[in-house]
Structure 1
Amino acid sequence: MHVDDHAIVSLSYEVREGGPQGALLERMDVAHPFHFMFGVGKMLPAWERRIFGLKPGMGFTFLLSPEEAYGQPSKDQIWELPIQHFQNEREQIDPSLLVAGQFVTLTASDGKAVNAKILRWNDETVTLDANHALAGMTLFFAGAVLAVRPATVDELIQKRYLGEGG
């Protein structure tokens, strides 16, 4: 079986910034592989195009430009929110929450979770960067397809890998 729509794929891989010698950003090894359902819109489209058709035992290496991956950082994703959004019910701010460089999860007006990095704060506002953490980076992927199998009925219904025992 080969990597195709709705197949359950297991991979080992690493992602590096810029190229094969770049900073290691993520690694999934044979002992802890990455499992996912291919072709259901949850992975980067350019990434899926690069592994489409591969069979177990086949390796891969490729670069994704920022435009193929998470885009360029946008000034529109730098937000200033009133500090009141970060207060608890007693109108206090937990000092461990507002730390420059720390990520927080916010809820957008459509109910979706948005991760943002705290840049700075003062008595009135908190400035956040909601760009993806990998925005602006060229990403180098190297890895191998470990296994490919048909999805179970439950996986097809949920459009995701469910693992052993569902």
Structure 2
Amino acid sequence: MEITSQCVVALTWTLKDTLGEVLDELETPVEFMVGGGDLLDKIDAALQGHEPGARLDLHLEPEDAFGDYDEKLVFLEPRTVFPPELQEGMNFEGLPPGATSKDAPPGLLYTVTDIYPEHVVLDANHPLAGIALRLHLKVEAVREATEEEIGRGSAGAGFFKI
């Protein structure tokens, strides 16, 4: 079956930065909906017309992937508004109650990047923002999307969600 919009592909891949460092390796196939919200637009477009067994090498600039790094999405908050068991790498959906940054966009996922005695650094950028990526992927299988998947616009995978 040839890949078209609104079908589901099972992919494996190796994701690297431009220096060749492996950022992610997917060895077990995961299903993504083409033409939905599961994949980045450039990946969606590159897959069109291919069949199972196809191998693609893609170069994604930040604007084609997770965007440029935005320093305006980094915030300092008082240490006192966080739980005592706070650790670097923890995520918060939105800022915690008592946060002081009035210009922080609500509803974003904030990652704790640094913890100091008096304050905590939160970053709402995607971890891969500002990074050009190289993606080597293999199409393992292709199938028609179900009505439910078409309605959701997703096969359930969220790796490329921003």
TM-score for both structures, normalised by structure 2: 0.79
Deviations 1:48-92 (A, max 9, x none): 2222221111110011011211122111111122334313xxxxx
Question: Which residue in the other structure is 2:99 paired with?
Answer: none
| Residues 1:120 and 2:115 aligned together | yes
Correspondence for 1:90: none
Deviation of the 1:128 alpha carbon:
1.5
Q: Is the 8 A contact 2:14 2:135 kept in 1?
A: yes
SS in 2 for 1:67: helix
Is the contact made by 1:11 and 1:34 (CA closer than 8 Å) also made in structure 2?
A: yes
Counterpart residue type for residue 126 of structure 2: H
- Give yes or no for contact 2:74–2:123 (8 Å, CA) kept in 1: yes
Please, which runs of 5 or more residues in structure 1 have no aligned partner?
A: 88-92
2:130 to 116, 121, 136: 136
Structure number with larger C-alpha Rg: 1
- Residue 26 of structure 1 is matched in structure 2 by 24
Q: Percent same amino acid at aligned positions? A: 26
Measure the CA separation in 2 of the matches of 1:116 and 1:162. Answer: 23
State the distance in 2 between where 1:138 and 1:104 align.
Answer: 24
Q: How many residues align?
A: 149
Instruction: Using the TM superposition, give the Cα deviation of residue 135 of structure 1 relative to its aligned residue in structure 2, in angstroms.
Output: 1.2
Over the aligned positions, Cα root-mean-square deviation in angstroms equals 2.3
Matched, 1:12 2:12: yes
> Following TM superposition, by how much is the alpha carbon of 1:107 offset from its aligned partner in structure 2, in angstroms?
2.6
Partners of 1:41 and 1:155 in 2: how far apart? 11
Aligned partners of 2:87 and 2:112 also within 8 Å: no
Conserved 8 A contact 1:38-1:48: yes
Q: Distance in 2 between matches of 1:3 and 1:105?
A: 37
| Alignment match, 2:36 | 40
Q: After the TM superposition, which parts of structure 1 deviate over 4 Å for at least 4 consecutive aligned residues?
A: 108-111
1:105 aligns with 2:100: no
Give the drift of 1:110. 8.1
Indicate the residue corresponding to 1:150 in structure 2: 144
The two structures have a TM-score, normalised by structure 1, of: 0.78
1:135 aligned partner, one-letter code: A
**Superposed displacement of residue 134, structure 1:** 0.7
